[in-house]
Amino acid sequence: MGERSEYTDGTFCWAELTSTDQQAAKAFYAGLLGWQSDDRPVGDDSYYSMQIVDGKPVAAIAGQPQQQRDAGVPSIWNSYVKVSDADATAARAKELGADVHAPPFDVMTAGRMAVIQDPQGAYFLLWQPGDHIGAALVNAPGALVWNELQSPDLDASASFYGELFGWSVEKMDGPQGRYLAILNQGAYNGGIRDVTPPAPPSWLVYFGVEDLDAALVKLGELGGSTLAGPIDIQMAMIAVVMDPQGAVFALYDGQLAP
């Protein structure tokens, strides 16, 4: 079980769902992953719902911004990367060919963030911590365990993120073809694999479960869908799934890093 009080730069530190139905999403993930909600007001008739496991924040569920809702964007899981300087990192991302979709801005006293679209089309977020470091628990059932980029050009993606965050990659033979494991300062920090059309380039979040078969049964009972799996990757069994509002994520049952 990995308790965290800080993150090194370049490490995935937080996962956040922006949902078309925040209340329904909270009920779904509570039933599937055992999350408890800590709702925090962020404006008139709106709140940011921290999701809690063993008293520790592991992720968040937020209402979808109106702009995305108007455009018909489905519910989406967002991946945050810890940085010491969101402004400098966003500027560097732009130099490397990324689109700074939302320039750096303060989230009250919690931290400073920016929304970036990489040159291959995948979105990710920068997080410069203030009061909120990110997840206080990772690599445990109900918590974030992995982040995986689905890219149309693995080498170009590896080059971009290597230049931006100092990541290196390690080539692996995966069950679905070529796979690049990401290392950040020597620690495994995610992976890169080929995108599967018609899915767009994107970052996929994985959450730990104790029993994948049981979790998939529960998923179906709660109105979710299994898109791929179970898949045996030797160190674990995984499945790619979708919640009732259309957000895609993955479940992981296997070996966990500390």
Span 59-112, pLDDT tens digits: 999 998 877 777 778 899 999 999 999 999 999 999 999 999 999 999 999 999
Mean pLDDT of 4-32: 96
Domain extents for the chain?
2-129, 139-254
Predicted pLDDT at 196? 83
Predicted pLDDT at 174? 59
Predicted pLDDT at 28? 98
Which CATH number is 2-129 given? Answer: 3.10.180.10
CATH of 139-254, one of 3.10.180.10, 3.30.559.30, 3.40.50.720, 3.30.720.120: 3.10.180.10
Work out the pLDDT band at 175, boundaries 50, 70, 90. low
Residue 1 predicted with pLDDT over 60: no
Of 171-175, 243-247, 252-256, least confident by mean pLDDT is 171-175
Work out the pLDDT band at 197, boundaries 50, 70, 90. confident
Tell me if domain 2-129 and domain 139-254 are identical in fold: yes
pLDDT tens digit sequence for 112-156:
999 999 999 999 999 999 999 999 999 999 999 999 999 999 999
Residue 227 predicted with pLDDT over 80: yes
* Amino acid sitting at position 9: D
Rounded to the nearest integer, the mean pLDDT of the chain is 93
In this prediction the pTM is: 0.94
Predicted pLDDT at 258? 74
